[in-house]
Structure 1
Amino acid sequence: MPRYLISFENGAMDHIPEEDIPEVGKAAHAVVQEAKDAGVLRFAGGFDYAAGMEHAVVGTDGLVMDGPYPESKELIGGVLIVSVPTREEALTWAAKIAAACRCAQDVRTFMDDPDLIE
Structure 2
Amino acid sequence: MTKFLISFPASAMHVPAEDMAAVSEAAHAVIREAKAAGVYVFGGGINAEVASTMVAADASCTTETYPQTTEFDGGFCVLELPSRTVAIEWAAKIAAACRCSQELREFYFDPES
1:53 aligns with 2:40: no
C-alpha change, 1:12 and 1:99, in structure 2 (3 Å) is: same
For 1:29-51, what per-residue CA distance to the aligned partner results, in whole angstroms no more than 9, with x for missing partners?
000000000000000101241xx
Displacement of 1:81 in angstroms is: 0.4
C-alpha change, 1:47 and 1:40, in structure 2 (3 Å) is: same
Normalised by the length of structure 2, the TM-score is 0.86
1:39 aligns with 2:38: yes
Displacement of 1:90 in angstroms is: 0.6
C-alpha change, 1:109 and 1:47, in structure 2 (3 Å) is: same
For 1:58-103, what per-residue CA distance to the aligned partner results, in whole angstroms no more than 9, with x for missing partners?
345655332689x934x13111100011001011110000110111
In structure 1, C-alpha distance between the alignment counterparts of 2:45 and 2:33, rounded to whole Å: 17
Normalised by the length of structure 1, the TM-score is 0.82
Letter in 1 for 2:84: R
In structure 1, C-alpha distance between the alignment counterparts of 2:45 and 2:59, rounded to whole Å: 26
Equivalenced residues, count? 111
1:81 aligns with 2:82: no
Q: Does the residue aligned with 1:20 lie in a helix, a strand or coil?
A: helix
Aligned structure 1 segments of 4 or more residues deviating by more than 6 angstroms:
none
Displacement of 1:114 in angstroms is: 0.9
Letter in 1 for 2:8: F
In structure 1, C-alpha distance between the alignment counterparts of 2:110 and 2:21, rounded to whole Å: 38
Identity of aligned residues (%): 44
2:91 paired residue number: 94
2:108 paired residue number: 111
In structure 2, C-alpha distance between the alignment counterparts of 1:109 and 1:94, rounded to whole Å: 12
Letter in 2 for 1:72: T
Q: Any unmatched runs of 5+ in structure 1?
A: none
C-alpha change, 1:12 and 1:59, in structure 2 (3 Å) is: farther
1:17 paired residue number: 16
